[in-house]
Chains A and B, each alone.
Chain A
Amino acid sequence: MQLTLWTYEGPPHVGAMRIATAMQDVHYVLHAPQGDTYADLLFTMIQRSDKRPPVTYTTFQARDLGGDTAELFKTAAKDAYERFRPAAMLVGSSCTAELIQDDPGGLAQALALPLPVVPLELPSYQRKENWGAAETFYQLVRHLCPAPAQRPDRSAPRPTGQRPRCNLLGATALGFRHRDDVTEVTRLLARLGVDVHVCAPQGATVADLRRLAEADFNVVLYPEIAGIAAAWLKRTHALPHTTVVPIGMGATRDFIAEVAQLAGIDAAPLLAEIGADMGAGGTRAPWYARSVDSTYLTGKRVFVFGDASHAVAAARVAATELGFTVVGLGTYSREFAREIREAAKLYGVEPLISDDYLQVEAAIAEALPELVLGTQMERHIAKRLGVPCAVISAPVHVQDFPARYSPQMGIEGANVLFDTWVHPLMMGLEEHLLGMFKGDIEFHEDAAPSHLGRAGTPMQVQMPSPSPAVSTNPVQAAAAVEAAAVLATAAQRDGTPTASTWAQDAELELKKIPFFVRGKARRNTERYAQERGLATITVETLYDAKAHFSR
């Protein structure tokens, strides 16, 4: 048993629901107890879907267990077929039904329904959501696009005038920015001269899956979901596939080169077009990153966590396109631990493979980042630690299924990433001005924002000791919480509950540091003092620590 508060991934049958919901004419009959329909609202609420997911649940109850749950399944499957008339059906068990050992595949076969029925074996006590999605998509592809008797020979040249065609694989329901990534990559491919043959599972029909092998190659958008299916298509249908996920300008350029090579066309014109600053290519992110206001981004410490593909891509963008320093890299997807380990070597950091958010929280507190790139959970962790944060990966909440166009992939994706990641940080000019004016009456730590006028004068709270919970200054409060959290972590690590005390003049000197970086200064100094076993922090210690931590 594993004590769990927060889970990065749902059970594997939720992955299967993501595939069924993404497609147009597939219905999923799920042998499951009352209550498992909660998963419907992930689709109707988080993704704001206007249709119910195409899933029928058998809803067995305790009183059915002594009787015939198998019959219940057969009735549900038959009724679902009659009512929804899908073109193919998925059948399987949720975690509880797995224990009662009815065999949905065999039962469905006995019904002899006049449509393809794909049985799913999703081991709920070993695997999780992304694996469930990958397996379901693979099973659908395997059943609907069976291996030919002989591996096809694809060396024959394309008929003249016919553009190369590819499939876009991996976009699903509840996928982080899948909707807009598909649009962006489709545009990119069109500019390169490549047509999209089938996009699956998102938007695909059963008939679409049947003609997957007619394409020239596959584009794997999300390896977590399309990896197994693409590998199988390569093995049996000799369909090659891409390996680069086009998130970030560098990766997008590599992707274009890879696609051009698979399609046998020339990538140079498109690469030249998108290489121009603010040019017709729509590329703005590289120029923005080079503009002088971005100088302040240099060496900002960033911690990256998410699904492996997004985390690896984000680390590359952070390090090579924004000039950050990657101080942590991790994933919750154990299936892709190798990718993270390899990427971590590039940045000289320890890879973190964990689905325990407390471990992630400890790692973030330890790494002292200035920006966290992560999932919904890291957003909360960062909020608690008072560190800026941007979301780069599922799981995400409703606000990350936005109404506006916001891909992560391709050229517009790179523009979106720049804005999303830089906004939580203080921009250079703003940081400079605040530092310059730190002594001014408007900018001292208890001053209300000037636009609020006199009405905004903060209440003077009389407190015997600084209490973060009631502080009128959120930044200060956050910094105090952060400092406390880091101290607590440090104390836990060393097993020593010691904390150095601040000399009065050092405390006064600390107050001269702008409030928005004071928390970090305090934290670094205390850490410095503690590591050296200094009982008292003096002005000297403060500046020693500053020198020690300065880059």
Chain B
Amino acid sequence: MSAVIPIQSDTGCTDAPVLRERGQREVFCGLTGIVWLHRKIQDAFFLVVGSRTCAHLLQSAAGVMIFAEPRFATAIIDERDLAGLADAQDELDRVVQQLLARRPEIKLLFLVGSCPSEVIKLDLSRAAQRLSTRHLPNVRVLSYSGSGIETTFTQGEDACLAALVPEMPVAPAAAPPTLLVAGVLADVVEDQFQRLFAAMGLGPVQFFPPRRAGALPAIGPNTKLLLAQPFLADTARALEARGAQRLVAPFPLGAEGTEAWLQAAATAFGIAPAVFQQAIGPAKARALQATAAHRPRLAGQRIFFFPDSQLELPLARFLSREMGMQLTEVGTPYLHRSHMAAELALLPAGTTLSEGQHVDSQLDRCRALAPDLVVCGLGLANPLEAEGMTTKWAIELVFSPIQGFDQAGDLAELFARPLLRRHKLGIPPAVRAAA
């Protein structure tokens, strides 16, 4: 697709004003990240220290997965723990002991902070140090916060990965340059990228987080960092503090985004343009073919994004540039200007950007705009459908493999499907409110 898109003379949304709002937020907290993180790091266990609400949230978010002996659980704080802090630390030790006896195969244990544990100032980092001392070399214990007061949804992954950074071994100063890809990707996507890098002769490439806790990549001044996910502010800062150089790129969504993302790495490693094009050629052609199938249904349709995962800007860029959709408002829970610089430049000028949320005001704006497709959470989706709008629930975009060339068609399909369904069920398009 990128070959046919003319280079824009303007700078897109680089200097666009952002509407910043405060109020009720209809978003998940960072604990939800556990649901996909635990599947990626296969010998890690996530122990939330929180309330029954935290356990209930994980259960609701994890759905049926909870019964495959998942590697996460909640140590529910009760009134005895609230009575005194020393007692709470002892209790935590007891729960961890109980847990590790039950799951001896665990190599890495995360103590995950929640709103209650942070408000009572239960020092989980100290607990992690103490427990590490006790359980090493069998189990390493780390801590991070997934609380709602600190983190929104995917920021839980950021906090988790940032906690892992100090554990990464030091790469020798004389080591050859390596590429570090940061952010949880589905295994199938990771393998595809690995093959593309191999085809262009780029390497060594390592992915962070690794699939096994013991296989953390080394890091040093010769590490080139490519972010696979847009929500890794703290992780990137921690990696850069250890010498890694971040490559500026849009995120690998759609054919254009994936090519530009791979190109950033290829340029940094001095891969010849011809070699690069030859390596990515077949996959890129497949991506263009697969997305073209969905373009007729999406082109010209107006889309509205409620804030959820920080994936909104790259998704909006893909949908507008490659699928011809019209952007109304693109909301994001948090906007990291420098990580998003490449994305902002590619967004069509005039797009309304919003950061944060006042859900009732945002719903008012959404109703007034009457978009053809609304991307939102499950708490809003059915109520908006009942009002006559077509919705795409956002959480699926975090759980499904969507990055890379061979997922570009699937990604487009996720947005085309609700529109197709509406058509098949014979529901007329929503009537736009009079301007």
Contacts and interface: CB of A to CB of B under 8 A. Distances in A.
Contacts of B378: 40-41, 44-45
B151 to A, nearest CB: 8
A95 B24 contact: no
A14 interface: yes
A56 B24 contact: yes
Contact of A10 (B31, B56, B91, B95): B56
A354 to B, nearest CB: 15
Given A7-B55, A57-B24, A62-B150, A1 B77 contact: yes
Contacts of B32: 38
Given A41-B379, A126-B78, A35 B28 contact: yes
Interface in A37-71: 37-42, 44-45, 48-52, 56-62, 64-65
A5 B119 contact: no
Interface in B332-386: 360, 377-383, 385-386
Nearest to A123: B79
B57 to A, nearest CB: 5
Contacts of A61: 148-150
A126 B149 contact: no
A51 B383 contact: yes
A6 B383 contact: no
Nearest to A380: B67
Given A35-B29, A61-B149, A124 B382 contact: no
Interface string B63-89: 010110010111111110110000010
Contact of A34 (B27, B88, B98, B377): B27
B382 A45 contact: yes
A128 B25 CA distance: 25
A203 interface: no
Q: Output the residue of A5, A100, A123 with the most chain B CB within 10 A.
A: A5
B221 interface: no
A36 interface: yes
B51 interface: yes
A9 B386 CA distance: 29
A44 B381 contact: yes
A64 B380 CA distance: 26
B301 interface: no
Contact of A11 (B25, B52, B70, B360): B52
Interface string A63-85: 01100000000001001000100
Contact of A3 (B56, B88, B99, B385): B99
B380 A11 contact: no
B28 A38 contact: yes
Interface string B4-43: 0000000000000000000111111111100000000000
A76 B70 CA distance: 38
Nearest to A60: B149
Interface residues of B, number: 61
Interface string B101-144: 00000000000000110111000000000000000000000000
B92 interface: yes
A492 interface: no
B78 A125 contact: yes
A364 to B, nearest CB: 14
B61 interface: yes
Q: Output the residue of B67, B88, B381 with the most chain A CB within 10 A.
A: B67
Contacts of A193: none
B60 interface: yes
Contacts of B51: 11, 95-96, 124-125
Contacts, number: 173
B289 interface: no
B386 A94 contact: no
Contacts of B77: 1, 125
A42 B386 contact: no
A96 B52 CA distance: 11
B66 A58 contact: no
A281 interface: no
A35 B25 CA distance: 8
Contacts of B49: 1
Nearest to A2: B76
Contacts of A124: 51-53
Contacts of B119: 65, 96, 99-100
A6 B75 contact: no
A150 interface: no
Contacts of B120: 99
Contacts of B64: 380, 397
A42 B377 CA distance: 12
Nearest to A125: B79
A528 B147 CA distance: 51
Contact of B75 (A2, A38, A58): A2
Contacts of A51: 383, 386
A10 B24 CA distance: 22
A41 B53 contact: no
A3 B52 contact: no
A37 B27 contact: yes
Contacts of B29: 33-36, 38
Contact of B56 (A7, A58, A59, A125): A7
A4 interface: yes
Given A34-B27, A37-B26, A52-B380, 18 more contacts: A5-B70, A33-B147, A33-B148, A35-B148, A39-B60, A41-B378, A41-B379, A42-B60, A56-B24, A57-B25, A65-B119, A79-B23, A94-B53, A95-B53, A96-B116, A96-B119, A99-B120, A125-B78
29 contacts: A1-B75, A4-B52, A4-B75, A10-B56, A11-B51, A11-B56, A33-B149, A35-B115, A36-B53, A37-B26, A38-B28, A39-B60, A40-B26, A41-B60, A42-B60, A44-B380, A45-B378, A50-B382, A50-B386, A52-B380, A61-B150, A62-B147, A62-B150, A83-B360, A96-B149, A124-B51, A128-B52, A384-B67, A397-B64
Interface of A: 1-7, 9-11, 13-14, 33-42, 44-45, 48-52, 56-62, 64-65, 76, 79, 83, 94-96, 99-100, 123-126, 128, 380, 384, 397
Q: 10 tightest A-B contacts by CB?
A: A35-B29, A35-B148, A40-B379, A50-B386, A96-B115, A95-B51, A41-B378, A34-B148, A33-B148, A62-B149
